[in-house]
Chain A
């Protein structure tokens, strides 16, 4: 259980950064940390005590050993890619905003009326 809690803790740290921090880069990092936390949760859920990587080798062709759960691993791969896509888009937006304002501080940028 403690592992799950640590993953949730990582998620909480990321959420804290996104909600509280006033620097665009810090917010991007918060998003990164949240993504790590979610991937961490998925891989924790997939582990089976004593399990091997879900790759059959020629030696064990006859009797596949106890494997860990391959499905969450496939999900994580997708999730990593989605995270990378999000980060790429965020970084381009940061660059554009920096070009327009000369700062990455949201308290200087946010002049949209609420």
Chain B
């Protein structure tokens, strides 16, 4: 598990990963125009990261995103969404859509909706990956890991 799988799997995974991540980002960013959204995109991206974890192993994956990093990003995403709400709050009401509405069917439209989608995307990606990483690490509970924090 630490070492990852065979070269064939790794090469295929590398190819597929790019597509998965682009697809995930597209789902999230165009969530207000087409089907999809922050949650769908985030879940897809988390699947991609899990594929990376399975194919390349924990050590290799940790160079890109570790468990600590994942939980940090999760907090950042959650805070980002709350901040969007609070920005609206200062402008009138909790969650008031303060940004200009933009031109319909373009990426930069619908005001805060796009940014909410981005925040949720970050949060869900990191969160679901963190859960899986912890579950995967827990199986190998015999050997000590560095994640342990008192």
A and B touch in the complex (CB under 8 A): yes
Q: Is the interface of A mostly helix, strand, loop or mixed?
A: helix
Is B34 in contact with chain A by the CB < 8 A criterion?
A: yes
Is A55 in contact with chain B by the CB < 8 A criterion?
A: yes
Quote the shortest CB–CB distance from B42 to chain A (angstroms): 10
Assembly CA distance A92 to B137 (angstroms): 12
Is B35 in contact with chain A by the CB < 8 A criterion?
A: yes
Assembly CA distance A111 to B101 (angstroms): 60
Report whether A55 and B141 are in contact in the complex, using a CB–CB cutoff of 8 Å.
Answer: no
Report whether A91 and B135 are in contact in the complex, using a CB–CB cutoff of 8 Å.
Answer: yes
Is A81 in contact with chain B by the CB < 8 A criterion?
A: yes
Report whether B39 and A81 are in contact in the complex, using a CB–CB cutoff of 8 Å.
Answer: yes
Quote the shortest CB–CB distance from B123 to chain A (angstroms): 11
Quote the shortest CB–CB distance from B55 to chain A (angstroms): 22
Q: How many residues of B contact A (CB 8 A)?
A: 13
One digit per residue, 1 when the CB lies within 8 angstroms of any chain B CB and 0 when it does not, for chain A 63-95 equals: 000000000000001000100100010011001
Is B89 in contact with chain A by the CB < 8 A criterion?
A: no
Interface residues on A, range: 10 to 19
B110-137 residues at the A interface, CB under 8 angstroms: 128, 131, 134-135
Is B138 in contact with chain A by the CB < 8 A criterion?
A: yes
Report whether A58 and B135 are in contact in the complex, using a CB–CB cutoff of 8 Å.
Answer: no
Residues on A with beta carbons closer than 8 Å to the beta carbon of B94 = none
Residues on B with beta carbons closer than 8 Å to the beta carbon of A95 = 135, 138-139
Is B19 in contact with chain A by the CB < 8 A criterion?
A: no
B73-115 residues at the A interface, CB under 8 angstroms: 104-105
Residues on A with beta carbons closer than 8 Å to the beta carbon of B128 = 84
One digit per residue, 1 when the CB lies within 8 angstroms of any chain A CB and 0 when it does not, for chain B 55-77 equals: 00000000000000000000000
Cβ contacts A to B, 20 pairs, < 8 Å: A53-B35, A55-B34, A55-B35, A58-B105, A61-B104, A77-B37, A77-B39, A81-B39, A84-B128, A88-B131, A91-B135, A92-B131, A92-B134, A92-B135, A92-B138, A95-B135, A95-B138, A95-B139, A99-B138, A99-B141
Chain B residues within CB distance 8 Å of chain A: 34-35, 37, 39, 104-105, 128, 131, 134-135, 138-139, 141
